[in-house]
Structure 1
Amino acid sequence: MLPLFFFKRLSTSLSKMAQPGSVLTMDTILANHRHLSSMPYNNCNTRIVSLRDLDLPEQASDDEYRRINQEYTAQSDPNAALLREAIESIKHGLAPPVAFPTETVYGLGADATNEPAISGIFAAKGRPSDNPLIVHVSSVAHLERLTGEPLPEIYRSLTQEFWPGPLTILLGIPQNSSFAKNVHPAQSTIGFRIPSSKYARFFIAATDRPIAGPSANSSGKPSPTTARHVLDDLRGKINFILDGGPCDVGVESTVVDGLHDPPLILRPGGVSQSELVAHGKAVGNNFVHTAIGYKRHDTTSTSSTSSSSPSPSVDPGSDPAHPSYEEDANGAPRAPGMKYRHYSPEGRLILFSEKAVPAGKVRAKLDEIIQQSGNVPREDGINVLKVGVISCHWPAFAGLPVSSTETNGVHPQLEASIYAPTTSIATYAGPDDGSNTEKRVRATLYNVHIGSAITGLAHSLFGVLRLFDDLGCSIIFAETVKRATSSAASTPALDTDKDVQEGQVRDIEDAVIDRIEKAAAERVD
C-alpha cells in the first residue's frame, strides 16, 4: 500500500499534466512517471526523528539491526511511528528522500534501484543530473547480494581495514544491473561505501535497500553536519530527517578507483593516500602505487592580485615518477565533487594567503568592501556590515584594529551554536572618508577561533560557514590552509611512522583545501 503523501503529490502533478477535455489513464501515468519523479516535492511536513532514542550496538549484523527496528517501531511511541513511516517510504520508492546521519555528513537517501526515487534526490537538492551518487550499503554481504558478484580481490583486504568508514570504492556496473541509471549517469562504475555510523547502518539494514545518499543540502550549499542544518536547507522538501547527532568527521568520504592501474584517489576525504599506500605495502597489492586523480590546489601562490575565482591547481604529476590522472568519462565527473562548485555559503567567502595579514591586505580589502557598500542593514540607525572571520593561524580578527563588543544576547543563533564559546565579536569603524559619521558604514565582526590543527578545521568548516549564514554575514574572511607538509611529492616514502603521519595530515589538508577553495568566491594573495 502506497503512503498517503504519494497520492497527494500524484494528484497534484497529474492535474498539471492534464489537458482540457483529456482523460488521464494509467498508461498516461506510467508514460509520465519520469516527469513526475523529476518534480520536487513541496509543502512536505518535515519532521525530525530521533535515532538516539534507540539502544543501538556499535557493531551488529544486518539481521540484528532489523530485529531492533521491528521491536522499536512496533511500539506506540510517536517517534517510533515516525521512524516506521520513514523506513516504509524508502521501501515504497515514490516518496521524498529521507535524510540520515553518517560519520562524515548527513546524507539524503533513496533506494538506489528505483529510478523515480533517485530523481527525487536530484529534485530536492537541485543537483546537476550528471553528478554521480554514492551508494551506501550495510555490509559486504549486502553489497555482494546486490551486485550478484564477489568483491574484487583488490578491494578484499582494503575493505577489511577501512570499512565501515569514510572510504568509497568504485566497482564496475554489474551485469544485468538492478541499479537505477541515474545513480551512475554516463559512467561505467558505481561508488559504494559502508558508513561507520551505527545509525546509518541501522537505517540501511532496516530498509533492506541500497541507499544512494549525497549530502543532504541544497546543491552548492555547505554540507550538513547536524539535523538542524538539513532542516534549514530542505524544510518542506522532504518528510523525514533522522537525527543521530553531530557528525564526527565533517568532510565526505575518500573516493578510490582500485580498478584503475595504478589505483586512483578521485576525491580526498577521511582516508588518506598515505594510509592506502601503507595498506598496499603491508599486504603486497597494487595500492602501494596509489596515485592522485584530482587536482591539488596551490596554497603558495605569490601573486599580489585578487581573483574572482579560486586559485589554479598544482599538478602532482609534475614529478614524472608519480603522474596524476584527471580523467572524466564523456565529460561527466567520475566521482561526486570533481566537476561542480560546492559548499558555498550565502556570504561571499574571500580567502587570504599567509602573507596577506602582515602586508595589510585584509584591512585594505575590508575598507574597500565598506566603501563599496551602498545598502547594508541598519542597526539603531547605523549601517552595519556583518563579517565572519575564520581564525586558524591568524590573530583574532585577522589583526584588524577593532573595539570589543558585549557578546551576551547579541544574536540568538550564536547563543544556540556549539561555536559560541570560541566566537568573539568586535566592531570595526571603517575608513574615515570625511563623511557624516552617522552615515558611515561600520562592520560587526564575528571571529570563530578553530585553532591550528587541520583536523579541527576539517570537522568545523561546514558548521562555521552555516553559522555565518545564520548570523547574516554577507562577507566571510578566511586564511588559505597552511600546509604543515610539502605537497610536491605524490606518493609518500612511508619509511617511518612519522612519514605515515605526515602523509595523513597532507591528505586531510587536501580534503579541506578542496572544500574551502570550492566555497570561495575570491582569493587575495
Structure 2
Amino acid sequence: MGFDTKILTVKPESVHFGKNDVMPTITDKQTEDNIRLAANELVHTTNCVGFPTETVYGLAGSALNDDSVRSIYRAKNRPADNPLIVHVSSLDQLKRKLLPRDYEIPSVYLNLIDKFWPGPLTILLPIHKDSPISKLVTANQSTFAVRMPNHPIARALIAVSDTPLAAPSANASTRPSPTLAQHVFHDLQGKIPYILDGGACDVGVESTVVDGLVSPPMLLRPGGVSVEEIRTVGGELWENVILSKKTAGKNEAVRTPGMKYRHYSPTAKVVLFVDCGDGAKAVNDYIDQNNIDPVQIKIALLKSRTFQDADKINSNIYIQRELGTTGSEISHNLFKALREMDEYGVDLIMIEGIDESNEGLAVMNRLSKAALVTVKGGERDEGKNGN
C-alpha cells in the first residue's frame, strides 16, 4: 500500500517532562495535535511513522506487534536478522509494559541509567518467559535492546501512545542515517503515512549500545555516549569494558543493530583517509594513481582537523567542505554532509578520518562501514570495510 506521506510540524520546545513525569505537558496545540495523530496511527494501525530523536530520525512501530515490526522492515528494506532497539518514555513504562513484575534491572546498569537516561544510551536486558516483545524485534535472540530517548518529541510520542516503540533509523537500508525530516521523506516517501518534523538532530550518530549481562561488560556499538564516559560513570564494573568487533560475520547472529551488513553509505564511492597528515600528498597520490580526472569526475573532500591546507590539494576538486574540528561537531555534521554530496551529484567522496577517542570512536565506526577504500598513512586497504 502506498501513502501520501505528510510531514507534520512539531515544536520540541513546547514539550516538557518534569523529573518524575510519565506524561508530558505540551503548550503548543499544533504540536500536541500532530503528536496525537501519529500516536493514534501507531496504536490503531500497523503502520510506522518517522520521528526525531536526539541521535537521528527514527522509524517507529509498536514493539509489541509483529505486523507493525514487519512494516518497519518492509519500509526500510531491512534484513530481518538485523535486530531493532525498543524505545520507552519512562522507567515506569519499561517496568509496566516489558518486564516481569518482580524483575529488578541489573545493578550494573543503574549508574548509567541515572546519568544517561533519557539520552543516547541503549542497554541489553534478558527476554523473559511470556515477554510481550515481538520476536521480530530481537531476531529470536535471548535479549532485547532498550533506551529512553532524550528528544522531547520522541519521548512524548512514546508516552502519548503508551507503546514501547521499535525504532531503527528512518532511512532506506544501507543509506546514511537521517538527521532531518527531509532526509526521511527522501528515502521513505510513499512508504509511511507521517513524519514528525522536529528540526535537526543534536547528536547526529546513533545511540551507544552496551551489554552488562556479560562479564566483563561489552560496548557493542559506539555512539552518542563515549566509552570514556561509560568507564567513568559506570564505575568499577565498567572499568574493563570490552569493545566488540566492528563488523559481524555473514552468518553470525548479532544482538544490536549496526554490526552487520553495509551501513551509512551514500551513492558516491567513499574513500577514508587515516593518519595522512595534512592530506595533500595522500589525496593527490590517490587521484594520480587511480587515473582520476577531477574535471570529468566530481570529487568532494570532507575535512576536519588536519586537512586544512587547500592550496596543496588538487585545485579541480569539485567541493571542499569542513565537518568541524571537535568530535561533537563532526558527529553532528557527518550524515548530513554525506547526503548533501549525493544531492550535488558527487561521484567520489574523500573524507578525513579522526582519532578514535571520545566521539571519534562512533564517527570512525560509521566511516569505516561507509567506505569502500581506506588509505592509511598512504597505504591503501580496499574492499574490506562495511562487509
Question: With structure 2 as the length reference, what TM-score do the two structures score?
Answer: 0.88
| 1:134 lines up with 2:85 in the alignment | yes
- Determine what percentage of the aligned residue pairs are the same residue: 40
Q: Which residue of 1 aligns with 2:382?
A: none
CA distance in 2, matches of 1:228, 1:115: 28
Asked which structure has the greater CA Rg, the reply is: 1
CA distance in 2, matches of 1:184, 1:53: 30
Work out whether residues 280 and 313 of structure 2, in 8 Å CA contact, stay in contact via their aligned partners in 1.
no
| 1:481 lines up with 2:357 in the alignment | no
Pairs within 5 Å for 1:316-327: none
1:466 to 339, 358, 364: 339
1:455 to 320, 328, 350: 328
1:457 CA displacement: 1.2
CA distance in 1, matches of 2:210, 2:279: 40
Q: Which residue of 2 aligns with 1:385?
A: 297
- Call closer, same or farther: CA 1:118–1:333 in 2, change over 3 Å: same
- Call closer, same or farther: CA 1:358–1:458 in 2, change over 3 Å: closer
| 1:520 lines up with 2:362 in the alignment | no
- Call closer, same or farther: CA 1:244–1:60 in 2, change over 3 Å: farther
Q: Which residue of 1 aligns with 2:180?
A: 226
1:275 CA displacement: 1.8
1:144 to 85, 89, 95: 95
Pairs within 5 Å for 1:20-419: 42=2, 44-52=3-11, 55-59=14-18, 63-65=22-24, 68=26, 72=29, 82-95=34-47, 97-146=48-97, 147-148=99-100, 149-281=103-235, 286-295=237-246, 331-355=252-276, 360-367=281-288, 371=292, 384-392=296-304, 393-397=306-310, 399-402=312-315
Cα-to-partner distance string for 1:278-333 (whole Å, 9 max, x where unaligned): 2233xxx52233222234xxxxxxxxxxxxxxxxx9xxxxxxxxxxxx8x897211
Work out whether residues 396 and 449 of structure 1, in 8 Å CA contact, stay in contact via their aligned partners in 2.
no
Cα-to-partner distance string for 1:341-382 (whole Å, 9 max, x where unaligned): 200011111122333766734223334556579xxxxxxxxx
CA distance in 2, matches of 1:226, 1:371: 33
1:56 CA displacement: 1.2
- Call closer, same or farther: CA 1:61–1:87 in 2, change over 3 Å: farther
1:274 CA displacement: 2.2
Which one-letter code corresponds to 1:354 in the other structure?
Answer: D
Work out whether residues 38 and 157 of structure 2, in 8 Å CA contact, stay in contact via their aligned partners in 1.
no
CA distance in 2, matches of 1:93, 1:252: 27
Work out whether residues 109 and 234 of structure 2, in 8 Å CA contact, stay in contact via their aligned partners in 1.
no
- Call closer, same or farther: CA 1:362–1:280 in 2, change over 3 Å: closer
- Call closer, same or farther: CA 1:47–1:397 in 2, change over 3 Å: farther
1:339 CA displacement: 1.5
CA distance in 1, matches of 2:14, 2:276: 51
Cα-to-partner distance string for 1:436-480 (whole Å, 9 max, x where unaligned): xxxxxxxx5111112332222111110100110111111111122
Question: With structure 1 as the length reference, what TM-score do the two structures score?
Answer: 0.66
CA distance in 2, matches of 1:119, 1:184: 12
Work out whether residues 344 and 518 of structure 1, in 8 Å CA contact, stay in contact via their aligned partners in 2.
yes
- Call closer, same or farther: CA 1:83–1:279 in 2, change over 3 Å: closer
CA distance in 1, matches of 2:322, 2:211: 36
Work out whether residues 277 and 307 of structure 2, in 8 Å CA contact, stay in contact via their aligned partners in 1.
no
Q: Which residue of 2 aligns with 1:502?
A: none
State the SS of the aligned residue for 1:509.
Answer: helix
State the SS of the aligned residue for 1:476.
Answer: strand
Which one-letter code corresponds to 2:371 in the other structure?
Answer: A
Which one-letter code corresponds to 1:390 in the other structure?
Answer: L
- Call closer, same or farther: CA 1:394–1:358 in 2, change over 3 Å: closer
Cα-to-partner distance string for 1:464-523 (whole Å, 9 max, x where unaligned): 00110111111111122245xxxxxxxxxxxxxxxxxxxxxx142111110001000112
State the SS of the aligned residue for 1:360.
Answer: helix
State the SS of the aligned residue for 1:190.
Answer: strand
1:397 CA displacement: 4.3
1:88 CA displacement: 1.1
Work out whether residues 93 and 111 of structure 1, in 8 Å CA contact, stay in contact via their aligned partners in 2.
no
1:68 CA displacement: 4.1
Pairs within 5 Å for 1:6-17: 9=1
CA distance in 1, matches of 2:318, 2:139: 44
CA distance in 2, matches of 1:289, 1:236: 47
- Call closer, same or farther: CA 1:163–1:365 in 2, change over 3 Å: same
1:384 CA displacement: 4.2
State the SS of the aligned residue for 2:341.
Answer: helix
CA distance in 2, matches of 1:269, 1:452: 18
Q: Higher helix proportion, which one? A: 1
CA distance in 2, matches of 1:68, 1:454: 33
1:187 CA displacement: 1.2
1:57 CA displacement: 1.5
CA distance in 1, matches of 2:162, 2:87: 11
State the SS of the aligned residue for 2:175.
Answer: coil
Q: Which residue of 2 aligns with 1:378?
A: none
Work out whether residues 12 and 198 of structure 2, in 8 Å CA contact, stay in contact via their aligned partners in 1.
no
Cα-to-partner distance string for 1:42-68 (whole Å, 9 max, x where unaligned): 3x1111111218721254655532x74
- Structure 2 residue runs of 5 or longer lacking an equivalent are 380-387
- Structure 1 residue runs of 5 or longer lacking an equivalent are 1-8, 10-41, 296-312, 314-325, 374-382, 403-427, 429-443, 484-505
- Call closer, same or farther: CA 1:246–1:178 in 2, change over 3 Å: same
CA distance in 1, matches of 2:234, 2:197: 37
- Call closer, same or farther: CA 1:81–1:140 in 2, change over 3 Å: closer
Count how many residue pairs are aligned between Structure 1 and Structure 2.
372
- Call closer, same or farther: CA 1:451–1:171 in 2, change over 3 Å: same
Work out whether residues 278 and 309 of structure 2, in 8 Å CA contact, stay in contact via their aligned partners in 1.
no
